[in-house]
């Protein structure tokens, strides 16, 4: 088993990664929680695939689990489903000495974590992420949130889980599109922080090949994010490099109404745009842009998405990472090394 220790002072926790680990989840959760009630929150797609296995494992370890299912998709990260969760957990008489478990992708993780962070002023929670994106991204860092009518993730908290259990076998049931969506973040970690890791991905540039080394890939991705997050738990500066590709990506998502492209697809094209922009400023060197482009395309992610200058600058003008007339762009110098460059918003280049 790969175990990664996340050292947020006072709120340390382990990320345990192993194929088939879901069968053993009850034992692992009993190591971090008194054996009492366990609320398992999942969505309608994940429930028929993995809920029974988890419930059985919890029962074997002496827990009294109950299952709460929300619809699949981003719309469940809402006040409506937060209220639904509060009601379900309270009607099952959950207490602060019980445990709340998120079994699902980032939507279930964010919603459940936010519920756990606020209900009864905080109930311990465990993450069992089941998409690649949630395994390598949302399970590290403690950000939990719901969306509000005014925007994404506007009501949220920093709330660290007691434990994260990652079973890469869960990825077998993902569509190629959702698998690739997560690969965009994996590629991003290599591009911003670790050339060797990036090269490893280049040598395993297909879903089948990556699955042969998946425990290592997930461990390494979580470890890279861990290093950034431990230095900047509350997202006050250092975490900014994780936004590589996101300023352009966010503009793309907005232009296409968050429908045509997944977040990972938009970020993938956004990373290429950032590298192209970096090249035009003489910052991005070697053949970094081409390496990013090829790796993205090997995983079926778009290297390029059409976006006009007006839409791009309109989106950048209201970017929440903006500072007055400037926006901080993350630009690669080379694979594994990025810089943060403040650019005047109306000087953003496009093709």
Q: Which residue is nearest to ligand NAD (CB)?
A: 106
CB-nearer residue toward ligand NAD: 8 or 72: 72
- CB closer to ligand NAD out of 129 and 336: 129
- Give the burial class of 152: count Cβ atoms within 10 A of its Cβ; 0-12 exposed, 13-18 middle, 19 or more buried: middle
Output the smallest distance, CB 139 to ligand NAD, in A: 8
Nearer to ligand NAD, 100 or 343 (CB): 100
Nearest approach in angstroms of CB 188 to ligand NAD is 11
Q: How far is the CB of 177 from ligand NAD (least distance, A)?
A: 9
Least Å distance, CB 77 to ligand NAD, is 5
Residues that bind ligand NAD (CB under 6 A): 43, 45-46, 49, 72-74, 77, 104-108, 110, 130-131, 133-134, 137-138, 141, 143, 153, 170, 173-174, 178, 181
Residue whose CB is less far from ligand NAD, 40 or 107: 107
Q: Give me the least distance between CB of 93 and ligand NAD, in Å please.
A: 28
CB of 319 to ligand NAD, least distance (A): 16
CB pairs under 8 A, 24+ apart, for 79-88? 79/146, 79/148, 79/155, 81/111, 81/146, 82/111, 82/114, 82/115, 82/146, 85/41, 85/111, 85/112, 85/115, 85/119, 86/115, 86/119, 88/39
Q: Which is nearer to ligand NAD, 103 or 338 (CB)?
A: 103
CB 245 within 8 A of CB 188: yes
Give the residue with the Cβ less far from ligand NAD, 105 or 336.
105
């Amino acid at each position: 088993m790969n175990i990664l220790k996340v050292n947020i002072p006072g709120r340390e926790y382990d990320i345990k990664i192993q194929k088939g680990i879901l069968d053993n989840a009850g034992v692992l959760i009993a190591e971090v929680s008194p054996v009492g009630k366990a609320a398992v929150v999942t969505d309608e797609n994940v429930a028929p695939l993995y809920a029974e296995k988890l419930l059985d494992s919890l029962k074997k370890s002496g827990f009294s689990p109950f299952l709460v299912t929300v619809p699949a998709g981003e719309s469940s990260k809402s006040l409506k489903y937060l209220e639904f969760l509060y009601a379900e957990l309270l009607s099952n008489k959950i207490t602060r000495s019980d445990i709340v478990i998120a079994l699902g992708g980032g939507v279930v993780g964010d919603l459940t974590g936010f519920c756990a962070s606020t209900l009864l002023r905080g109930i311990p929670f465990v993450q069992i992420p089941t998409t690649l994106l949630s395994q390598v991204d949302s399970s590290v860092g403690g950000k939990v949130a719901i969306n509000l009518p005014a925007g994404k993730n506007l009501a949220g908290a920093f709330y660290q889980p007691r434990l994260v259990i990652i079973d890469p076998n869960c990825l077998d049931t993902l569509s190629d599109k959702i698998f690739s969506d997560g690969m965009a973040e994996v590629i991003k970690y290599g591009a911003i922080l670790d050339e060797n890791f990036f090269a490893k991905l280049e040598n395993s540039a297909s879903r089948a090949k990556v699955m042969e080394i998946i425990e290592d890939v997930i461990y390494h991705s979580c470890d890279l994010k861990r290093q950034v997050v431990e230095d900047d738990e509350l997202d006050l500066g250092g975490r900014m490099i994780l936004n590589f590709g996101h300023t352009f990506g966010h503009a793309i998502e907005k232009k296409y109404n968050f429908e045509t492209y997944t977040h990972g697809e938009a970020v993938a094209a956004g990373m290429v745009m950032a590298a192209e922009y970096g090249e035009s400023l003489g910052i991005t060197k070697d053949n970094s842009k081409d390496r990013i482009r090829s790796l993205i395309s090997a995983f079926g992610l778009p290297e390029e998405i059409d976006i006009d200058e007006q839409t791009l600058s309109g989106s950048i003008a209201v970017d929440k990472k903006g500072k007055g007339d400037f926006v901080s762009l993350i630009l690669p110098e080379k694979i594994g090394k990025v810089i943060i460059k403040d650019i005047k918003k109306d000087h953003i280049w496009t093709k």
